[in-house]
Structure 1
Amino acid sequence: MTADVLLVDDDQPLCETLTLGLGKRGFRAQWRTSAGDALHLLESTDFDVVVTDLNMPEMNGIELCERIALNRPDVPVIVLTAFGNLDSAVAAIRAGAYDFISKPIEIDALAIAVDRAANHRRLREEVKRLRLEVLDRPRDRTLIGESTAMRRTQDLISRVAGSDATILVTGESGTGKEVVARAIHDRSRRQAGPFIAINCAAVPESLLESELFGHIRGAFTDAKSASAGLFVQANGGTLFLDEIGDMPPSIQPKLLRALQERKIRPLGSKSEVSIDVRIVTATNRDLESAIDEKRFREDLYYRINVVHIPLPPLRARQADILPLALHFIRMFAAQSEKNVTGLSKEVAQKLLAYAWPGNVRELQNSIERAVALTRFEEIRVDDLPEKIRDYRFSHVLIAGNDPAELVPLEEVERRYILRVLDAVAGNKAAAARVLGLERKTLYRKLERYELREKAQSE
């Protein structure tokens, strides 16, 4: 099987000999006598394998291997080492090398190693392609919904998908923010590139910077080999930063610089790496409140909020509940090979009456459970979770008929404000809009309620 090979060695006669030998065995080879020239060529030309000598002036093979691992992690590197130099071989593997060969070089052994490395790259590319095909299945990505709110969201996605504008998707947990991010990617000119997602709240602060920006070998105690960060892995595609509101303040300036300069600096590195990535962020936090509380940078907020896509909670798009339920029934019935085709009238009424605090994710989990449990072709009430079967909407009691139960107007206001806050999952900006108040006015009222409660408890 043929492959394009880049040979890097300061010994020009050796390069010419190896190029000739590999050419006779079906490989297309080019050579460079310096690591710097090789890196420059890699920026404009695609190679299946790089073969580099270990000892070279200016930049040795280990350093070259690290640079390739950061900038072109898809290209395997074979390092040529002196015979019996096991320490150098181990160092090469830690730097990200795919394989090593001892000198003096036997051309047949080199050809076998190159062929194996090229096959390794092709297999990785095929796995990536198949993974993208799986992700592209309509059942995984379809934005289900005919409600006015959902049609508005779908229209906005269609309008912004073709641009490279940074997008902020907001909404409660479980509303489908990652589904929206994937839909944007799938409809963009970057759809053939990778879609990389990370939950900023799920990665410890000590690891998040390395995860995003990468690191060189020895950048910190456990950095035994170089690692390309997610920005580099997402080159040519989309990087989805979920729960951006939970990003530690120490990393926010570095993210801001990456977005502004389109360059990153891996941990421990003295050089920067250019990136070509579409950024989509998401949060269930009230970022404007976080800015007021000095937990989120205002300049970063405006950088990620070029286009804002608000996702309404499921309770605000009741027209979508039954279409979503039927979609999940078809999906899970096919997976479990069960003949479940619909739901009873009573189940439909229960689903429409429920408040869905967990939003679409809760609906999906509930339908998955129901499909697994049901013994009929349609889901029955007994197949639903108990909290949905027994759900009763609870109103906030602001007064009774007994004069002794009547409360001051301020207390009525307090209870209603807290009820609205509960309905919008604590989002103060959203609550202020519902109440028709300025955000600062709402904050003052909440502070007053909190002080009063503390005074009453003392």
Structure 2
Amino acid sequence: MANENILVIDDDPSILEVIQMRLRSFGYRITIAMNGNEAKRALSTISFNLAIVDLRLADENGIELMEEILSSYQKIPVIILTAHGSIETAVEAMRKGAYSYLTKPFNNEELSLHIKNALEKQKLTKEIEHLKSQLGDQQSFRHIIGNNKRMQEIFEQISKIAKTNCTVSIYGESGTGKELIAKAIHHNSNRSKNPFIATNCGAIPESLLENELFGHIRGAYTDAHESKEGLFTQADGGTIFLDEISTTSPALQVKLLRVLQEREIKPVGSTKSIKVNVRVIVASNIDLQKAVNNGTFREDLFYRIHVVPIYIPPLRERKDDIALLATYFMTGFCKILKKDIKGFTPAAIQRMLLYDWPGNIRELQNKVEHAVIMTNKTMITPEDLFTDVNLKNTFNSYKDAKERFEREYVESLLKISKGNVTSASKMAKRYRADIYKLIKKYNINTENYKNNLTTSLY
């Protein structure tokens, strides 16, 4: 396990020199500290895999120092160094969380074996935690489903960019599934075995967001009694997803720009930077280019995050997916609630197709869940899905309904004719000029229909 970071704490320079020399010969990266303050400074700037602590320091209690370390960095195994006369105290240290103890003087084989076993245990613990988090993801993960052409294009984008490390910007209204797209990119990437950390920047007060993202060192502010890892450090080796990035302050945008440029962070209160290996995916429900033009978002940060943009259509623009999504959600909720529901009545499907879905897929999922819970029938009806309160929203004006029909009709013609306007006009029994007029009116690109894509379930 070469290149693991090990912290050695001992107030005897000769012991430090011997251990440092031996461990470096084993291929480890060593940081030394002669007291607790030096150790805490090192811990706040470097991610360690192991700590070796002398039980008897000149002005400090080694067990108390170990407890401080473990309270802030629970994942770091600690090996205690002790003399023959202090074995009982070393056993006490193990009861309080130490991995093992070594009695001075020790030989190279003993030292190497204890370190190797402690690092193996740490690696195994991390793998177990990762497997647990993966299992949780599988249980809660909603598959991204789509027949819609624009969703097909997004699936193709995901397959192309997942294996790269490029920064991705995901745009879409609230409830369209931006985090699911980010998870799909992560789980199909080379980083999939490492953490996926997500946070909503708009849900955290501005005064706390920097601390949440970058962490802090002990004493950084009044209540900072212990150091804390930030989300970027937790996501090291994996992916961090920053939703609602448009809500970040100008000062924080500068710091995010530095992370993307230098690939390093600086915890609050620290003077030292920490290198991080993190893929950044951001999301916004507003147009960031407009935010740049309005002066509310930094232009340099925009170009750093806008490497590969993905635009998720709202549900009202992918009506051909509504029945598919509704059935998927219904099946899942029926399994959880142990109910035997066969499907939706034609009237329920028609009502869903007429509704605008301002809350997008999240709203559809919630309505289907409500219907499954409340119905005693084998088929879900419109009344199960839509209460009297929102029935008034299920119908649009005549003008809106007519325009929607025209657009969907022309798109269907182009799908069948593979973008050939002449064939489309013959099927519709209209002049080509009429079809061209509608194509122009709704800004439809006929090139998109010249290669039909097959149905996909992601």
Same fold (TM over 0.5): yes
Deviation at 1:350, TM superposition (A): 1.0
Report the Cα distance in structure 2 between the residues aligned to 1:62 and 1:305, rounded to whole angstroms.
Answer: 42
How many positions carry a matched residue from both structures? 371
Report the Cα distance in structure 1 between the residues aligned to 2:147 and 2:441, rounded to whole angstroms.
Answer: 24
Report the Cα distance in structure 2 between the residues aligned to 1:7 and 1:73, rounded to whole angstroms.
Answer: 10
From 118, 127, 130, give the equivalent of 2:129.
Answer: 127
Q: Specify the code of the residue in structure 2 equivalent to 1:41.
A: Y
Structure 1 residues 336, 301: CA separation in 2 closer, same or farther (over 3 Å shift)? Answer: same
Residue 194 (str. 1) matches residue 169 (str. 2):
no
Which secondary structure does the structure 2 equivalent of 1:173 belong to? coil
- Which residue is 1:32 aligned to? 20
Structure 1 residues 318, 179: CA separation in 2 closer, same or farther (over 3 Å shift)? Answer: same
Contact 1:366 1:384 survives alignment (8 Å): yes
- Which residue is 2:72 aligned to? 96
Report the Cα distance in structure 1 between the residues aligned to 2:442 and 2:250, rounded to whole angstroms.
Answer: 31
Contact 2:6 2:28 survives alignment (8 Å): no
Contact 1:341 1:377 survives alignment (8 Å): yes
* Residue deviations 1:225-282 (CA, integer Å, cap 9, x gap): 1111111111110000000111111100110011011111111212111111110000
Deviation at 1:209, TM superposition (A): 0.8
Report the Cα distance in structure 2 between the residues aligned to 1:313 and 1:11, rounded to whole angstroms.
Answer: 65
Contact 1:81 1:101 survives alignment (8 Å): no
Residue 368 (str. 1) matches residue 369 (str. 2):
yes
- Which residue is 1:259 aligned to? 260
- Which residue is 1:217 aligned to? 218
- Which residue is 1:145 aligned to? 146
* Residue deviations 1:1-59 (CA, integer Å, cap 9, x gap): xxx9875435378689xxxxxxxxxxxxx943899x89x9348xxxxxx9x8xxx54xx
Q: Which runs of 5+ in 2 are unaligned?
A: 102-117, 401-439, 444-458
Contact 2:11 2:57 survives alignment (8 Å): no
Report the Cα distance in structure 2 between the residues aligned to 1:333 and 1:243, rounded to whole angstroms.
Answer: 33
Contact 1:200 1:246 survives alignment (8 Å): yes
Deviation at 1:111, TM superposition (A): 5.5
Which secondary structure does the structure 1 equivalent of 2:216 belong to? coil
Superposition CA RMSD, Å? 3.8
Residue 327 (str. 1) matches residue 328 (str. 2):
yes
Report the Cα distance in structure 1 between the residues aligned to 2:29 and 2:391, rounded to whole angstroms.
Answer: 61
Deviation at 1:181, TM superposition (A): 0.2
Of residues 193-202 and 326-335 in structure 1, the stretch that sits farther from structure 2 once superposed is 326-335
Report the Cα distance in structure 2 between the residues aligned to 1:84 and 1:184, rounded to whole angstroms.
Answer: 51
Q: Which runs of 5+ in 1 are unaligned?
A: 17-29, 44-49, 399-432, 437-458
> Which residues in structure 2 correspond to 1:350-429 (within 5 Å)?
350-386=351-387, 387=389, 389-395=391-397
Report the Cα distance in structure 1 between the residues aligned to 2:150 and 2:367, rounded to whole angstroms.
Answer: 23
Residue 41 (str. 1) matches residue 28 (str. 2):
yes
Contact 1:351 1:388 survives alignment (8 Å): no
> Which residues in structure 2 correspond to 1:5-404 (within 5 Å)?
8-11=9-12, 31-32=19-20, 41-42=28-29, 56-57=33-34, 60-68=35-43, 71-72=46-47, 80=55, 82=57, 89=64, 93=68, 96=72, 98=74, 105-106=86-87, 107-109=90-92, 113-115=97-99, 122-123=124-125, 125-137=127-139, 140-386=141-387, 387=389, 389-395=391-397
Structure 1 residues 73, 310: CA separation in 2 closer, same or farther (over 3 Å shift)? Answer: farther
Report the Cα distance in structure 1 between the residues aligned to 2:168 and 2:214, rounded to whole angstroms.
Answer: 20
**Identical columns (%):** 37
TM-score between the two structures when normalised by the length of structure 1: 0.71
Q: Specify the code of the residue in structure 2 equivalent to 1:212.
A: L
Contact 1:82 1:102 survives alignment (8 Å): no
Contact 1:263 1:274 survives alignment (8 Å): yes
Deviation at 1:384, TM superposition (A): 1.3
